[in-house]
Copies of this chain bind each other. A is one copy, B any other.
Amino acid sequence: MQKEILVVGTLGFDTVTNCRGRVDMVLGGSASYASVAASYFARTHLISIVGTDFSNGHFAPFKKRGVDTQGVKVEEGKTFFWAAEYDKDFKNAYTKVTDLNVFANFKPRILSSHKKCKYAFLGNIDPEIQLSLIKQMDGAKLITCDTMNYWINSNKKAVKKVIKNTDILFVNESEARMLTGEYNLIKAGKDILKLGAKHVIIKLGPNGAMFISPLGMAQLPPFLVENIYDTTGAGDTFGGAFTGYLASLPKWNTLYAIKNAMAVGGVMASFGIESFSINKLLELSQTKINSRLNKYKNGLRF
């Protein structure tokens, strides 16, 4: 029986300029990347909010991937908008515009049709909203949460509450250091466990990801991609695929399962960055995914 997963986050329009060129008002937001990535591993239900400028055409990619969008509220107004410019070769992204628009009113409710979801990926949104969702998901088997520097700075108290109430926390290197004051990532990860996290994933960007938990530690390299088009959403793709893959297993909480999920997340992210927006993620197949996954895993056997 296919497992059901809830993905919560932003749906938005992105304008991105980088060394590959520029795209205007393309589909973006953490939930776009995460839900499409998750959809290859579990039946995916999306919770988000969009404006009336979000057309049927914008919903089409999700429909194509069988993502249930009943939980996407359409509200009078404009959809979340983000504009950014990357420097040469994606070293840094400089945000030019963030217009929350209708997302400012996001008060997600879990629908009765979502009650069968025992797995969830909560993208990087206000930690208070993440907490309200965690409360609504009583009986969940796995809730993973992403966060970001903005929330750590503005509402660390709520972030700490999220940390205590989530199963797996995703942070990147600088967030791990910001949360703990530790430069060494193993120490930072262990300090996040002391804050009450059950398991921590530290995303290392071009260097893969690290897992720290009572189950053990692991650092895995990335799948090497030469022709990067856009790294936007790579972390969300990782998080969505990682969580969707774990949802598909009979038992997610073993180091073996987690390492496989990290491999799946990394491989899906490697596809994601080979195009702007979610274009490449939409045209995948189990065959393509398994082929790259095998290539990745075989590359680590020697």
Contacts and interface: CB of A to CB of B under 8 A. Distances in A.
A162 to B, nearest CB: 26
Nearest to A87: B183
A204 B219 CA distance: 13
A61 interface: no
Which bucket holds chain A's interface residue count?
A: 20 to 34
A222 B219 contact: yes
> How many copies, total?
2
A100 interface: no
Contacts of A69: none
Interface string A226-258: 101000000000000000000000000000100
A224 interface: yes
A286 interface: no
A228 to B, nearest CB: 7
A53 interface: no
Interface stretch (A77-85, A144-152, A184-192): A184-192
A196 interface: no
Contact of A302 (B208, B225, B259): B259
A5 to B, nearest CB: 22
B208 A91 contact: no
Contact of A186 (B88, B185, B226): B226
Nearest to A223: B219
A68 interface: no
B183 A89 contact: yes
A137 B91 CA distance: 41
Contacts of A256: 302
A259 B302 CA distance: 7
Contacts of A88: 183
Contact of A217 (B90, B91, B206, B224): B224
B220 A184 contact: no
Q: Which of A207, A210, A260 is packed against the most chain B CB atoms within 10 Å?
A: A207
Contact of A204 (B185, B207, B300): B207
Contacts of A207: 204, 207-208, 219, 221
Given A183-B88, A263-B302, A220 B218 contact: no
A224 B89 contact: no
Interface in A111-148: none
Contacts of A184: 89-90, 228
